[in-house]
Amino acid sequence: MIKSRTKIVDLLKMQAGIPVMVKGWVRTKRGNKNITFIALNDGSTIHNVQIVCDMNLFTEDMLRGATTGACLRVSGQLVPSPGAEQAVEIKAEEIEIYGTADPAVYPLQKKGHSMEFLREIAHLRPRTNTFGCVLRIRHAMAYAIHKYFNDKGFVYLHTPIITASDCEGAGAMFQVTTLDLNNPPKEKDGSVDYTQDFFGRQTSLTVSGQLEGELGAMALGEIYTFGPTFRAENSNTPRHLAEFWMIEPEMAFYDINDNMDLAEDFIKYLVRYALEHCASDLQFLNNMIDKSLIERLESVCNIDFVRLTYTKGIEILTNSGHQFEYPVYWGVDLQSEHERYLVEKHFKRPVILTDYPKEIKAFYMKENRDGKTVRAMDILFPKIGEIIGGSQREENLDILVRKMKEMHVSEENLDWYLDTRRFGTGPHSGFGLGFERLLLFITGMTNIRDVIPFPRTPKSADF
């Protein structure tokens, strides 16, 4: 009897005629009194292996526990399969049931379940075909991101998750404290005395690693961060999570155009990587979730993104004659309906929008000579809206300090950040890509809660 386990992904590529052993979870069991077929999946691929049990060798009793969801070890011979669906199957000789899954209570029976129901059992949904695909693709994309930057000589910089710089302005923050919330120490004026807190000051979970990333870039040249990011906004949309992962490259000596070139090349690389390395998972999602998925992915690899100023974008929207829910005027922060109109209706391809009004963008973005706009660049994608937000950074100390004053950003808290401009400042740029927004595009899933294993959203932090 063979002792080592073969993964199903490898087994399906092997030649028949050898003894094999597999371990996995039952997807389906069917048959009659002569023969039983078990479809077994071990998570290594979307495909199952068919286990054929000759009922002269097994009793019904022996297979009673091998129902949907049960965990098995199967030993037998790899033989050619007469079925059209697979080249090989396993003629079972021995089956050990590690764990049963009582059909009366196991929630994942054969029938299709709604995404909403699966969210309620997020601890079990990785065992479905759809979530198996999504999670394998999520892994492949994480690997491809590191590979892309490593091949280009970028340094992976680990920026802190707990931070005391509360003023980046990217979003509302979750406070981190060990103070007794029922009885916090107070100052004379009645406010909370944070000097008695764990860090001796008020701290929060980070909304972005960018400020620390800039310090890295101004020493190492080109860096990227890839880590969890937290926003305490009460936005209940299919595109917002309270805890999401962000990739933030930051590059010394890049201007806004170099920044756009990198961002476009990076996204195309990741899409191409998925097409090349996740073909069977994408095919499944194309069949079951979104019939135009693969076509859309292929088209993004082969077209140039549109590059357009915010001002021209506003012109197109106002001249469109389209009735938007939110009014369009120069200075407005674009809503996703506006972004999607430009991408899906007007240009029918990804758009990089640049040179936004300075009032609606962060203090660190470099001012243009017009004194009204900043060198921002947002990449807008079909079905998603904003997937990347970035800019050239203001490298001039005096202008940066003036902008911080104008925008009420505390200089005292960010004195360390200003040192990049005090000592050896230079042009630099960077951007942030939301990992889950990327995954929405690559998988064709429509709700961001379904591309992360355990979503955190307002009023929901189960599992």
In the complex, the residues that contact ligand ATP under the rule CB under 6 A are 170-171, 231, 240-241, 244, 246, 386-389, 432-434, 436-437
CB of 316 to ligand ATP, least distance (A): 20
338 binds, among Mn ion, ligand ATP, none (CB under 5 to 8 A by kind): none
387 binds, among Mn ion, ligand ATP, none (CB under 5 to 8 A by kind): ligand ATP
CB of 389 to Mn ion, least distance (A): 3
434 binds, among Mn ion, ligand ATP, none (CB under 5 to 8 A by kind): ligand ATP
Q: How far is CA 238 from CA 380, 437, 448, in A?
A: 16, 10, 5
**Which lies closer to Mn ion via its Cβ, residue 132 or residue 249?**
249
What is the rounded CA–CA span in Å between residue 280 and residue 70? 25
What is the rounded CA–CA span in Å between residue 174 and residue 234? 12
**Which lies closer to ligand ATP via its Cβ, residue 66 or residue 414?**
414
- Does residue 132 touch Mn ion according to CB under 5 A? no
- Binding part of the chain for Mn ion, among 158-166, 190-198, 257-265, 383-391 by CB under 5 A, reads 383-391
Q: Is 1 helix (H, G, I), strand (E, B) or coil?
A: coil
CB 92 within 8 A of CB 75: yes
CB of 434 to Mn ion, least distance (A): 9
Nearest to 289, CA basis, from 443, 80, 76, 85: 443
**Which lies closer to ligand ATP via its Cβ, residue 240 or residue 366?**
240
241 binds, among ligand ATP, Mn ion, none (CB under 5 to 8 A by kind): ligand ATP
Tell me which amino acid residue 84 is.
A
Taking residue 224's Cβ as centre, other Cβ atoms within 10 Å add up to 26
CB of 145 to ligand ATP, least distance (A): 14
Taking residue 28's Cβ as centre, other Cβ atoms within 10 Å add up to 15
- Does residue 434 touch Mn ion according to CB under 5 A? no
**Which lies closer to ligand ATP via its Cβ, residue 65 or residue 169?**
169
Q: How far is CA 211 from CA 320, 376, 447, in A?
A: 38, 16, 30
- Does residue 389 touch Mn ion according to CB under 5 A? yes
CB of 141 to ligand ATP, least distance (A): 14
- Residue numbers 205-244 binding Mn ion by CB under 5 A: none
What is the rounded CA–CA span in Å between residue 110 and residue 94? 25
**Which lies closer to Mn ion via its Cβ, residue 76 or residue 434?**
434
Q: What are the helix (H) ranges across 24-92?
A: 60-63
CB of 241 to ligand ATP, least distance (A): 4
Total binding residues for Mn ion by CB under 5 A? 1
CB of 410 to Mn ion, least distance (A): 22
**Which lies closer to Mn ion via its Cβ, residue 24 or residue 389?**
389
Element spanning 373, H or E: strand 373-381
Tell me which amino acid residue 387 is.
I
Show the 3-state SS of 138-206.
HHHHHHHHHHHHHHCCCEECCCCCEECCCCCCCCCCCEECCCCCCCCCECCCCCECHHHCCCCCCEEEC
CB of 334 to Mn ion, least distance (A): 10
**Which lies closer to Mn ion via its Cβ, residue 240 or residue 403?**
240
Instruction: Encode burial over 52-65: b for 16+ CB neighbours within 10 A, e otherwise.
Output: bbeeeebeeeebeb
**Which lies closer to ligand ATP via its Cβ, residue 344 or residue 386?**
386
Binding site for Mn ion (CB under 5 A): 389
